[in-house]
Amino acid sequence: GAVVSQHPSWVICKSGTSVKIECRSLDFQATTMFWYRQFPKQSLMLMATSNEGSKATYEQGVEKDKFLINHASLTLSTLTVTSAHPEDSSFYICSAIRWGNEQFFGPGTRLTVL
Amino acid sequence: LAKTTQPISMDSYEGQEVNITCSHNNIATNDYITWYQQFPSQGPRFIIQGYKTKVTNEVASLFIPADRKSSTLSLPRVSLSDTAVYYCLVGDVDRGSTLGRLYFGRGTQLTVWP
């Protein structure tokens, strides 16, 4: 099946720093990718839709200046958590739509902000 | 966007068949029904997708009645490794559009006992 990777798989940073998370579709091109956040024992929450070559579309309540999304190519989308704080600690997951109607998810990135 | 309702948890024993039913009363004409499996600290894994009637693959079956207001995921002869959270989602996954956003409900925690 289609493969979506994320890097890094986990990251620990100090409060106030920025962290970039990469999402790559390894064997297909994805014009649309999505970013989710998941807190412990909770469901995935859609944060934004990342479209190649255009601005991301954010869900209501998600700060676009806090979570910067760049979809520079058909296989790469990045999420940058700017000025991270402990409350941003979470599991961040991306997904990509392959030709057709299947959405494939990455393995997730565990962010811990100290 | 169609909202889904699933049981919060289910228990089963190894070797049994498990059926998880999901309600989606407001499903739209263009919506597909997709089920995902998620293990702790991993991204969701695609299980099966369908639009109507019955779909079967190597791991599960999906039963969708004619009115499409519900669906049932059937896992034959579960094993301990099937212990996970199962999410039912409905969404319009269409290439070239910003549709395809998936909104996860709480999911069903399936626990398989020896």
Per-residue confidence at B13, pLDDT binned at 50, 70, 90?
Answer: very high
Gap between the Cα atoms of A110 and A107, Å rounded? 10
How much is the mean pLDDT over chain B?
Answer: 89
What is the reported pLDDT for B72? 97
Rounded percentage of chain B residues whose pLDDT exceeds 90:
69
pLDDT of residue B96: 34
Mean pLDDT of B62-66: 96
pLDDT of B90 over the 80 cut: yes
Is residue B98 scored above 90 in pLDDT?
A: no
> Choosing among B6, B33, B46, B109, which should be mutated to test the A contact, i.e. which has the most A CBs within 10 A?
B46
Residue B18 pLDDT grade (very low, low, confident, very high; cuts 50, 70, 90): very high
Low-confidence ranges of chain A (pLDDT < 50): none
Torsions phi, psi for A86 (to 5 deg): -50, -35
Please state, in angstroms and rounded to a whole number, the distance separating the CA atoms of residues B91 and B94: 9
Partner B, chain A 73-112, Cβ-Cβ below 8 Å? 91, 93, 95, 97, 99-108, 110
The minimum CA-CA distance between A81 and chain B, rounded to whole Å, is: 19
Of residues B112, B77, B94, B95, the one with CA closest to residue B31: B94
- Which pLDDT score, from 0 to 100, does residue B94 have? 47
With a cut of 80, say whether residue B2 has pLDDT above it.
Answer: no
Chain B residues whose beta carbon lies within 8 Å of the beta carbon of residue A97: 93, 95, 100
Tokens, residue B8: 């919060």
Q: Give residue B37's pLDDT.
A: 96
A16 contacts chain B (CB < 8 A): no
Residue B99: band (very low, low, confident or very high) from pLDDT cuts 50, 70, 90: low
Selecting from B32, B101, B105 the residue whose C-beta is nearest the C-beta of A34 gives: B101
As a whole-number percent, the residues of chain B with pLDDT over 70 amount to 90
Residue of A43, A57, A58, A79 to mutate when probing chain B, most B C-beta within 10 A: A43
| Burial class of residue B81 (count of CB atoms within 10 Å of its CB; 0-12, 13-18, 19+) | exposed
Task: Please give, rounded to a whole number of angstroms, the shortest distance from the CA of B78 to a CA of chain A.
Answer: 22
Residues of B in contact with A108 (CB under 8 A): 41-43
Residue B95 confidence (pLDDT) above 60: no
